[in-house]
Structure 1
Amino acid sequence: MEKLEKDFCFCTLALGSKYHALAKQLAGDLEKYSPGTKLVIYTENPAEFKEEKNILAFQHQQQGILHCYNDKRFVVEKALSLFRVVINIDADTRIKEKIPEDIKFEPGIFGRNEDLLDHIKKNRPANLQIIKNVASKLNIDCEKAKWIGESLYIVVRDNDREKEFIKNWGIIGSYLELKGMHSGEGNAMGLAAAKVGWNITKSESWEKLNKIRQHLDASYGKKQKTFWEIFKRKLGYHYRLNKARLAALKDFDFYYR
């Protein structure tokens, strides 16, 4: 692999042709506004990006039971193995201006945030007890935990606390998905950050990046799927659900009691 000159990168998931195209568009913006900055991608088809000079693409198949939101932890983990600073950004994002060269990154996690329980009460009140249950099982004070905005956040190496963060994100994300919470990875991230003792703030670096990006939110306006696309999606869902249920049996008390 080529020598990596910068200590920071961007990363994203790009699963499916629509997100392949969006990721290439994002890579083009980075090449224009931050030459030399890499975009680390997890995708089911790395060959799709072989012509993109600033993309590092790695093989990945969806692990999330219904959606792939918590799969973001895998690309963050990979990017952190390569760079000190990882900026996770949704593929359906445009960079509109030059990325400042003087951005400074402190250890920890940074992004838009709000009180976790307030966020749950406003957006997912029916799931409040699930959040409290998983927090209790992991000895996390959910009264002090934060929800983290999912479309742009920064993770910086912090004496291996970032590894514990990823590990706990996986445990919490799996628990929530098995209980029917298939989206809103910001809840799992917030609990995992609280577990490792990170204090979540926006930070000056996050504010600078947030001002120069435009999130398009490609999840809206989805086209009508064909019968075979629906069948394939249902088949994949039941495969991943049964796989997750079997894996959870290894820690029956945590996941099922």
Structure 2
Amino acid sequence: MNSSFTAKTFCFCTLALGKKYQLLARELALGLKRYAPKAKIVVGTDNPKQFKNCENVISFQQKQTGVLHCYNDKRFVIEKCLLNADAAIYLDADTKIISEIDISVEILGGIRGFSENLLYHVSKYRPEDLEKFQKLSSKLKIPIEEVDWIGDSLFIVAKDGGKEKEFLEIWGLIARYLELKGIHSGQGNVMGLAATKVGWKVRNSDSLRAIARATKHLDASHDVKKISFWQRLQKKSTYHYRLNKARLIALKDFDFYYR
């Protein structure tokens, strides 16, 4: 169950790796400055200099750790945000602020997000991976029927007596497991599994709905540009580096990852 703890402070946060997402994050910050002028946003980015003139941005150096994609690296900006606030409000960098955000709404401990049953979600969108998720839930010792998929473009994680740290740690554990099984996306499934493992029930809330009404997700990930031969070569090289690094880390918990 989610706790009855009420966050007294909060901060927005996002991940901005690569120039396209850095520019989008700057636009997001400008939107927040206009519609929520008292709010700050934490940005994890591979180029913090892009945000040196953004008054409401707290940027920090963050490189991709995900083997193929950076989706699960969102957990690092949540972690950074919770160092200085009771609640982290995550927004994808390609989110546009379209109206004033009510920042007086109550935020309770645990996780808040738009969700649906994970079994239904996986069966509908990636049925070929259902068996892998069933095996993973067994390894985690949680009933997969009780797990929810969580929308990952907007969600809130608030402090809950240390459970938030456990949640982020398990998120990383599950993400690595799935990447080594060839599943490199669908972080909403990962978040749902981690939330269930720490005993959180995913709920909607007035705070989440208020932010959703004031924002529009543009989904820039569908806008894929062609890359050069050398860029493809570099991408392939870094992929294998991260893959081998993940394999080495996984050896420390051989039974979980490989049996």
TM-score by length of 1: 0.96
Aligned partner of 1:8 in structure 2 is: 10
5 Å-filtered alignment, 1:158-197, equals 158-197=160-199
Aligned partner of 1:37 in structure 2 is: 39
Aligned partner of 2:3 in structure 1 is: none
Q: How many residues align?
A: 252
5 Å-filtered alignment, 1:22-171, equals 22-171=24-173
Per-residue deviation, residues 211-230 of structure 1 (Å, max 9, x unmatched): 11011111112111111111
Per-residue deviation, residues 130-160 of structure 1 (Å, max 9, x unmatched): 1111111111111101000010001111111
5 Å-filtered alignment, 1:212-251, equals 212-251=214-253
- Name structure 1 gaps, 5 residues minimum: 1-5
Residue 81 of structure 1 aligns to a residue in which SS? coil
Residue 220 of structure 2 aligns to a residue in which SS? coil
Cα distance in 2, alignment partners of residues 125 and 199 from structure 1: 24
How far the C-alpha of 1:7 sits from its partner, in A, is 1.2
Cα distance in 2, alignment partners of residues 16 and 117 from structure 1: 33
How far the C-alpha of 1:16 sits from its partner, in A, is 0.6
Equivalent position amino acid for 2:228 in 1: T
Cα distance in 2, alignment partners of residues 132 and 83 from structure 1: 35
% identity of equivalent residues: 53
TM-score by length of 2: 0.95
Equivalent position amino acid for 2:95 in 1: T
Aligned partner of 2:207 in structure 1 is: 205
Cα distance in 2, alignment partners of residues 116 and 81 from structure 1: 30
Cα distance in 2, alignment partners of residues 203 and 48 from structure 1: 33
How far the C-alpha of 1:24 sits from its partner, in A, is 0.3
How far the C-alpha of 1:36 sits from its partner, in A, is 2.1
